[in-house]
Amino acid sequence: MNRKEAKREKGKKDPVIRLLDGIIVVLIFVTLWQVPSALFYKNRADRNPFSQDAEIMSFEMQKGDYAGLIQGSYFNSFGGDPEPDGYRHLADYAEAAFLYRVYHTTGDSRRADLQKSVMEEARAGMGELTVFADKVDRMIPVTE
């Protein structure tokens, strides 16, 4: 075998090897493209692991996003992060007011009365946030 034949033999690659080389190159590019995104979300999760602070909750109250307030309260209770009591009571009040309206409308007076007591208990613990409870009452009116 002379040099030309050896070079020609060395230059030929099996198609499977070429395919695997192509897959490796694609995986390298995908990895390089996704690493910054993954690091961003990891950093964000480390800073705020599914909890909401009082600033976010007050912003949700001011824009009238009571569903987000309730969701934040659940995130905090599941994560073990205590949020300020007033916000938790307001979230409980908003959820109970919605459920009270549903049960009152459907005629389930036992469950409606239970939600009414939750609303009264939550309103008592709200403190200065009762202004927002009044907004909830205007958003979810209930006729007796």
Confidence (pLDDT) at 9: 63
92 close to 57: Cβ distance less than 8 angstroms: no
Which of 36-45, 67-76, 108-117, 132-141 has the highest mean predicted lDDT (pLDDT)?
A: 108-117
Percent of the chain with pLDDT over 70: 69
Q: Rounded mean pLDDT of 84-110?
A: 86
Residue 2: pLDDT band with limits 50, 70, 90: low
- State the Rg of the chain over Cα: 30
Classify each residue of 28-48 as buried b or exposed e, where b means 16 or more C-beta atoms within 10 Å of its C-beta.
Answer: eeeeeeeeeeeeeeeeeeeee
Tens of pLDDT, residues 33-92: 888 887 776 776 666 555 556 666 666 667 777 777 777 777 777 666 666 677 788 888
Confidence (pLDDT) at 90: 83
- How many Cα atoms are found within 13 Å in the side-chain-facing hemisphere of 40? 5
Q: What is the three-class DSSP state of 64?
A: coil
Amino acid (1-letter code) at residue 136: V
